[in-house]
Chain A
Amino acid sequence: MANLKDHMGRPVVAVTGIGVVTSLGVGKTDNWAALTSGKSGIHPISRFPVDHLNTRISGMVDFLPSSSKGASHLTYELAETVAQEAVSEAGLDSGDFGGPLFLASPPVELDWADRFSLYNSDKKDGGSERLLRVARALKELDIFETTQFGSIADRLADRFGTRGLPITLSTACASGATAIQLGVEAIRRGECDKALSIGADGSATAEALIRFSLLSALSTHNDIPEKASKPFSKDRDGFVLAEGSGALVLESLEAALARGATILGIMRGCGEKADDFHRTRSKPDASPAIAAVRAALADAGMSEDEIEYVNAHGTSTPENDKMEHLSLSTVFGERIGSMPVSSNKSMIGHTLSAAGAVEAAFSLMTMRESVIPPTINYDNPDPAIVLDVVPNKKRNAEVGTVLSNSFGFGGQNTCLVMAREPV
């Protein structure tokens, strides 16, 4: 009989449903097959012209009906698709979920397509005056809703019958992990016995790409797109902008067992620590990332020896991978050289607001399937980063526990510890 309370007397939180979409495809089956065969979803950009752009590749999700309809519509569809997969797998009513919703999604702005069409709908006056005048005459709310930060969650709440005021959050590239953390915490506090946590990001617009590009954050290895994302390699030159979504149905273990649900994994611990060093760079001694990993372990009631695999943030930027290595080698000591640490981003790119949720989904599947997805494009190891990155080919291995890292702009550091089985 599994313990229903954890080491701090809180309800144990189980995962009973998982959904995922990336540039590799829709759903767990397709994604897992591609991920474990070392396939890359990175491809040339076709959604908009690439004239004048230094980066012309991405991991965009180009195969959904909303893929060309703007960031808000695509983010909604990405979220809805994975939530449906997760809720169905959990065997719950997908129109009456009955628990709270936590959505990690990108900040919204009026799309340029709408800006252009509003502006060019007449010729009187100019600039923002024209936009405002045209805007107030609109008869439909469609464009308005794409600019409201709460609208995607509001629609999802309607669609899935989640309970109460949905929370939409952003902790930059750690958002997906934070959405899971908020769900775990709500269950542990006894506010609910189940929660729906989603990370979704369909915001790879030209402007988003240019913004990251101007910060020198993106890879410019355009010639062979599938080789551009190469975490922990010596010639890594930035991340690859990507889209995707991940959803988890979280449930108290007690409620899940009581209704006979299949337990897909256990959320053992969550930890976070903010960095006050710089807006885009991490403190050189990696102390905030180290503190976040240690906080997650402490929350899980586990020692560092009990972690068997690390699902790395591994963005393929020179800075992140170096800092992440420093933090892992500090926490795990010499053991880090022989412990598998792989980066899903080598294949799917950086799904930004969704990354923490997508990678938590893959971490859970890694344990269930006893297969560790590889870090591909590891042809030229960085000698300063000595890690077992599970290079280029998947590895069959029993994995009982995973640490998943998420680090983001604005000093955001969030780590999740997951386990295959309850204790």
Chain B
Amino acid sequence: MSSPHDVVITGIGLVSSLGEGPDAHWQKLTQPGFQPVLDAERFAPYTIHPLPEIDWNLQIAKRGDQRQMETWQRLGTYAAGLALDDAGIKGNDELSTTMDMVVAAGGGERDEAVDAAILAASESRNDRDVLLNEKLTTELRPTLFLAQLSNLLAGNISIVHKVTGSSRTFMGEEGAGVSAVETAAARIRSGQSTHVLVGGAFQTEHSDMLLGYELAGYLHRGPWKPVWQRQGSEGGGVVTGSGGAFLVLEQREHAKSRGRRIYAELGPIVSGRARRRRGELNSEIAALLEQAHLPDGDLLTISAASGAHAATAAEKTVLDANPALAVRAFSTLTGHMKEAQFPFAVALAAMAIDRKAGYPVFDATAEKPFDGAPGTVLATAIGYHQFEGMGLIKAA
């Protein structure tokens, strides 16, 4: 039964190594045997999925605005612009100024040259704290701080796209993306919001962004492999990618009244926090599947599995136990985009609903075929280190 306060998806903005926008992603992801775009050289021994070529001017008109951001903020602002365009909101003052926003964010890029110079000098100095003051006070670009602040991705979206109803930034890897979608949906269902911009971006082409994983040995090394085949390989299993995913979520009535195309309806979103050290992850994933109330019959499942050995093995075990699930781990083709993982999964699920077709297997050894038009799609995001979530996306 549809209700006026249902949450529907009316805009999708995607960027990854595969290109930009739903069409480009659909085209590549539905090509059987499509090979990922990889760069194994620049950050060797790590492989990454690099950003495609982007003409920032298309979504960030002012050069001055572009200069105030580093790539992560530009990427997020760009992907947000794509979603707003797709939903017919960009440039509409009335809709932009009343639009709420929840962004899932990490931090922005540090100045690698300044850091490297300080580290090099630290080898011959014992007064490292003084060295720090000396270098940082003279060598940091003053406005770089703003390009690093987590909430300034949302801030830039307000400035560039005029989204000013409200602005909240959630932090915390994949879990932030889950909470952002969950909170945005709850606001719409309760009548607090009529339309919400929600999403995130991750720019992996920076040594600190790799370091954030590698301090716990999470990155995969050696030749690239699909997400499900990295157990036992050198390293920790995660191959990262640059990209972003933003969604326009809207109250059904609001979308209909302005005659917008609806990709899909956002069903229940569930989330949790397994105490993984106590071995609770498998049971937590199973419990979330239970709470999501899966429909009967075969179910296309868009998994944001990272490849991280323990989390990915747990997810695979639990999903494999349900023979109805036809799983697609998209990070095989895009790399892991941290905060953007869950919004990305929801976007791919909505596209499958909208186009009445599933995706071919991304990894023939671990994924099974899905035929026909999916009426409901499951999207999962099991964090590489902590936090779990999933949701159902349904035909509108």
Contact = CB atoms under 8 A, between A and B. Distances in A.
B293 interface: no
B192 A185 contact: yes
B271 A165 contact: yes
A349 B151 CA distance: 22
B142 interface: yes
Given A136-B235, A165-B179, A119 B164 contact: no
Interface in B211-247: 211-212, 214-217, 219, 235
B217 to A, nearest CB: 5
Interface string A8-29: 0000000000000000000000
Contacts of B158: 274-276, 410-411
Given A112-B132, A149-B106, A132 B183 contact: no
Interface stretch (A102-110, A312-320, A386-394, A396-404): A102-110
A182 to B, nearest CB: 7
B133 A215 contact: no
B167 A165 contact: no
B19 interface: no
A141 interface: yes
Give the interface size class of chain B.
35 or more
A219 interface: no
A348 interface: no
Contact of B151 (A116, A136, A412): A412
B119 A150 contact: no
A189 interface: yes
Nearest to A130: B119
B273 A154 contact: yes
B176 A149 contact: yes
Contacts of B138: 52
A215 B217 contact: no
Given A110-B215, A147-B212, A279 B172 contact: no
B137 A148 contact: no
B275 interface: yes
Contacts of B88: none
Interface stretch (A31-39, A83-91, A170-178, A300-308): A170-178
Contacts of A151: 386
Given A143-B215, A409-B149, A206 B136 contact: yes
Interface stretch (B121-129, B307-315, B329-337): B121-129
A151 B210 CA distance: 18
A168 B171 contact: yes
A210 interface: yes
B159 A172 contact: no
Residue of A50, A151, A191, A412 ringed by the most chain B CB atoms within 10 A: A412
A119 B122 contact: yes
Contacts of A215: 142-143, 145-146
A64 interface: no
Contact of B149 (A50, A107, A278): A107
Contacts of B217: 135-138
Interface in B159-189: 159, 162-173, 175-176, 178-179, 183, 186-187
A398 B137 CA distance: 48
Contact of A141 (B46, B137, B216): B216
Contacts of A412: 151, 155, 167
A191 B186 contact: yes
30 contacts: A48-B129, A51-B133, A53-B137, A107-B148, A108-B107, A110-B211, A119-B122, A119-B123, A120-B122, A127-B112, A129-B207, A131-B119, A131-B207, A153-B172, A154-B273, A164-B272, A164-B273, A165-B178, A167-B172, A168-B171, A185-B192, A207-B136, A273-B166, A274-B154, A279-B68, A279-B155, A409-B155, A410-B155, A410-B156, A411-B164
Interface of B: 46, 68, 101, 105-107, 110, 112, 115-116, 119-120, 122-123, 127-130, 132-134, 136-138, 140, 142-143, 145-146, 148-152, 154-156, 158-159, 162-173, 175-176, 178-179, 183, 186-187, 190, 192, 207-208, 210-212, 214-217, 219, 235, 271-273, 275, 383, 385-389
